[in-house]
Amino acid sequence: MVKNPFEKYHYLLEKYIDPRAIPVLYAYWSSPSRYYHNIDHLNDIIAYIEKFRHRVNRDEFDQLILAAFFHDAIYDPMDPKNNEDKSKKFFRDSYIGKDKKFTLVEDLIECTKYRKRPRPFLLQIFWDGDNAGFRKDWMTFLRNEKKIKKEYPKVDENKYREGRIKFLNQNWGLFGPKGDTNIRKLIDYLEDK
């Protein structure tokens, strides 16, 4: 069983995040309206980051983990253009670290906004972790799509399909042959519905 990331990294959150903000952060990730962008997604990105623990220094690792906690803290499917900016602001308002300036956290959150793999190594780690689902097996990729669709209950089916296909096409070529195969199959699936 996967450990609750809020328990696993409580020491990090308690060191750098205002104690009043931690339950709010947990509530965001635990919201019943989140089917994909929930604690499972948070665990996935943290697990990806942990693979690089020995290739980054301690401050970099801490910032990668904090960015994981905050990158989708604010997630409103009806206002997707502002989610990252609001999440960065939430981090800024919650950060209490006096001994370090963790400005990288905001850059890591920001990089998830774009459909282009960043060049700096730390941003690549984070972006790849956030987008690792594109390289999963087809059935997992399809299950994730169905979870994402549930996060848009008020969006007309045709409008959702059109927007989703546009988004998927923006990802073509970013995740290698496995990712492209998943994208093509999902576009076919959406077009057949």
- CA–CA separation, 21 vs 68, rounded Å? 15
Query: Does one domain contain both 68 and 126?
Result: yes
- Of 100, 130, 160, at which residue does a domain stop? 130
141 in the same domain as 120:
no
Distance CA(172)–CA(96), nearest Å, equals: 40
Cα(97)–Cα(185) distance, integer angstroms: 45
pTM over the 0.85 mark: yes
Q: Are residues 18 and 38 in the same domain?
A: yes
Tell whether 118 and 34 lie within a shared domain: yes
Going by the DSSP 8-state scheme, the letter that residue 131 receives in this structure is T
In the listed set 78, 101, 130, which residue is the last one of a domain according to the structure? 130
pLDDT digits 0-9 by tens, 139-166: 999 999 999 999 999 999 999 999 999 9
Number of domains in the chain: 2
Same domain, 116 and 147: no
Which pair of tokens denotes residue 4? 């609750």
pLDDT, one tens digit per residue, over 178-193 is 999 999 999 999 999 7
Tell me: the pLDDT tens digits for 82-93? 999 999 999 999
Looking at the structure, do residues 126 and 143 belong to the same domain, yes or no? no
Same domain, 92 and 156: no
Distance of CA 31 to the CA centre of its chain: 15
Question: In which band, very low, low, confident or very high, does the pLDDT at 72 lie, cut at 50, 70 and 90?
Answer: very high
What's the pLDDT score for residue 100?
Answer: 76
Extract the tokens encoding 49. 């980051």
Report the percent of the chain where pLDDT is more than 70.
99
User: Are 27 and 116 in a shared domain?
Assistant: yes
Indicate if the pLDDT at residue 58 is higher than 70: yes
- Within this chain, do residues 113 and 168 fall inside the same structural domain, yes or no? no
Same domain, 60 and 154: no
What is the domain extent for residue 181?
135-192
Structure tokens at 112: 């998830």
Same-domain check for residues 104 and 174: no
Band (pLDDT 50/70/90 cuts) for residue 2 is: low
Place of tokens 């390289």: 135
